[in-house]
Amino acid sequence: MLIVRSPMRISLAGGGTDLPVYYREYGGAVINAAIDRYFYVFLRTSGSTDLEISSSDFRSFFRHDRDCEFCFEGDLQLPRAILHHFGITYGLNLFIASEIPPGTGLGCSSSVAAGLIKAILVCCGIQCRREEIAELAAFIEIERLGSPIGKQDQYAAALGGLNLIEFKNGHTRITPLKVDNDQKKRLERSLMLFFTGQTRRANDILGRQKEASEQKKGPTLEALHRVKEMVPEVKGCLESGDIAGFGRLLHQNWEEKRRFASGVSNPEIDRYYEAALGAGAYGGKITGAGGGGFLLVCCEEQRRPAVRKALQSHGLTQVGFHFDDQGARVIMNTGLLLTSTIDWNRPESIFNRLD
């Protein structure tokens, strides 16, 4: 058996500019942080002609016989597509489980992708850079499956850490922020994460944002430009330890994000946010595409009890977290071996098996 875990993430700046429809035209930039809320991949060989995939989160089960046509529909289409990309269609049992419910804005699907790709590479005895894992995860999610998602989550899941990620001219550049351990701990203590109890279909909101971004002008495009312009300021605040400055930029970021597409916010979310501000928070945002999931709040450490009390009075539940610096990693391996049909002697082959 092999077990791999991959982290979720919180986006701190530039979210939305990592969608291909935007960065291919204008260049994108985001800052995110991997956190110690994980997605787990369990692999074991079965010695049969079947492939079985089960998920505790979706309460779904998929079985494929090697003599039947492989399909990609349903809740488990992402792990199916990844296994098919590697030419693994039988003799394997896969179980996946998350600490966080899907559809809550912490990059769950990309954590699945990065974790499963890491697991398969280890089982095949293939050495691969973490950046290549992130690229392949993004390639399968965005290009192979056509998901209208961004490209930051895969890097957070594969690499871990607190990073500036820039997308320009077909290249991705990762720059770890210069934040020492004491600064990281202070930043952790200034951030609070609350589950709203609402899940949402991110693809619906992101699809509307994609359509609006394709226009050469308009409020969505203007808001995305402004969000990207804040990224260097956020970087400066985080590296200098200016929590108040960062919190105010987070608030400005949320004000712009609400203009990305309909459904990003709603009256309930607005009430939660105003309650946090009223209790002394500098700012905050809904994680991911919006519409539900988690509310991320920034405040000084001494304001945490008041913010917690205010949001708990609205029925929200706080979820604790720390930053993760390891990314997708093996936590148990009893020597599981797999055989892939990819020709590993060709460097581009890891990306090109789409049929």
Over residues 84-118, the pLDDT tens digits come to: 899 888 888 999 999 988 778 899 999 999 999 99
Q: What single-letter DSSP state applies at residue 323?
A: B
**What is the rounded distance in angstroms from the CA atom of residue 154 to the CA atom of residue 143?**
14
Backbone angles phi, psi at 238, to 5 degrees: -65, -40
Domain contains 344: no
Q: Tokens 């930051």 map to which residue? A: 152
Query: Does residue 341 sit within a domain?
Result: no
CA dist., res. 180 & res. 325, Å (int): 12
pLDDT at residue number 282: 98
Q: In the 8-state DSSP scheme, what is residue 144? A: I
Domain assignment of residue 220, yes or no = yes
Full residue range of the structural domain in which residue 6 is found: 2-333
Q: For residue 345, is it within any domain?
A: no
Closest among 98, 101, 49, 96 to 77, alpha carbons compared: 96
* Weakly modelled stretches of the chain, pLDDT under 70: 67, 69-74, 199-217, 262, 289-290, 340-355
**pTM listed for this prediction:** 0.90
Tokens of 302: 């001494």
> Residue 355 falls within a domain, yes or no?
no
CATH number, residue 138:
3.30.230.120
For 309, counting Cβ atoms within 10 Å of its Cβ (0-12 exposed, 13-18 middle, 19+ buried), the class is exposed
Angle at 30 between CA 28 and CA 36, to 5 degrees: 150
Q: Judge whether 324 lies within some domain.
A: yes
Closest C-alpha to 134, from 111, 158, 152: 158
- What pLDDT score does 207 carry? 62
| Number of structural domains the chain divides into | 1
Q: Is residue 353 part of a domain?
A: no
Assess if residue 289 is contained within a domain. yes
196 phi and psi angles, rounded to 5 deg: -80, -15
